[in-house]
Amino acid sequence: MEETEARDALAMGAEEALGDSILSEAQKEREQAADQLFLDIPSWDGALVGCYRDVGRKSLQKLARKAISASRKGDDNSVLQTDIDLIWQANVGVYVHKADLDESTPGAVRDRHNDRWLVPLTNDFGTVTFKMIGDKLGRDFKGSTDTILYLFAKDGGDAGIPIGAHSTTIARWLKDPSKGASEPGEV
């Protein structure tokens, strides 16, 4: 009888440890999902993905004041520049996506909202952001506007609409990061 009770206690302990492990992993994924947003960078056909984090209330207020001021002065590019500024400030990484990536890929991160695995572009300083992408692409960008226009426009086309849609998606996500990103046209 004692042997059976010992086996049952051991089995219960193993089940509890497995349950705790699964719960811990789910909690980690939940926190990661609420902490960052992954969005495909337009014009790269899903191969390049931007990772974004909350820029904080003060930064958002500063961006809003700058946009309002520029608009009052009649600056026709103020909306586009505000979108670029939000994308630039919120970006914390550039990732690559290929269909054959999975959890066994070194450095892979799960994009839970899109059910895919991504690998960050890295350099000697860590994960590459939009601020550092020029070196990876062999280009010398002249700042945020030049970089974002290049990344978001296909073959030199107009990047205004993709930039606006991307910025809108980030802004909507910032309202409630736990929900993931909705498409720009969704309410």
User: Is the pLDDT reported for residue 89 higher than 90?
Assistant: yes
pTM above threshold 0.85 = no
> Looking at the structure, do residues 137 and 55 belong to the same domain, yes or no?
yes
pLDDT for res 114: 86
pLDDT for res 18: 59
> Looking at the structure, do residues 74 and 21 belong to the same domain, yes or no?
no
Within 73-130, where are the H helices?
Answer: 78-90
Residue 111, helix vs strand vs coil = strand
> Looking at the structure, do residues 63 and 2 belong to the same domain, yes or no?
no
pLDDT for res 126: 93
As a whole number of angstroms, the distance between CA 12 and CA 43 comes to 52
pLDDT for res 74: 74
- Using a pLDDT cut of 90, give the percent of the chain over it: 48
- Residue 77 within a domain: yes
Question: 34: burial class by Cβ within 10 Å (0-12, 13-18, 19+)?
Answer: middle
Domain hosting residue 18, numbered range: 1-35
Q: Which residue has the higher pLDDT, 84 or 12?
A: 84
pLDDT for res 182: 55
> Looking at the structure, do residues 30 and 41 belong to the same domain, yes or no?
no
pLDDT for res 34: 56
> Looking at the structure, do residues 17 and 55 belong to the same domain, yes or no?
no
> Looking at the structure, do residues 123 and 153 belong to the same domain, yes or no?
yes
pLDDT for res 186: 44
- Residue 186 within a domain: no
Q: What is the pLDDT of residues 21-65, one digit of tens each?
A: 555 555 555 555 458 999 999 999 999 999 999 988 888 788 778
pLDDT for res 178: 72
pLDDT for res 31: 53
- Residue 184 within a domain: no
- Residue 185 within a domain: no
Domain count across the chain:
2
Q: What is the pLDDT of residues 133-184, one digit of tens each?
A: 999 999 999 999 999 999 999 877 889 999 999 999 998 888 877 766 654 4
Question: 147: burial class by Cβ within 10 Å (0-12, 13-18, 19+)?
Answer: buried
As a whole number of angstroms, the distance between CA 66 and CA 46 comes to 32
> Looking at the structure, do residues 94 and 21 belong to the same domain, yes or no?
no
As a whole number of angstroms, the distance between CA 137 and CA 125 comes to 16
Residues in the chain, overall count: 187
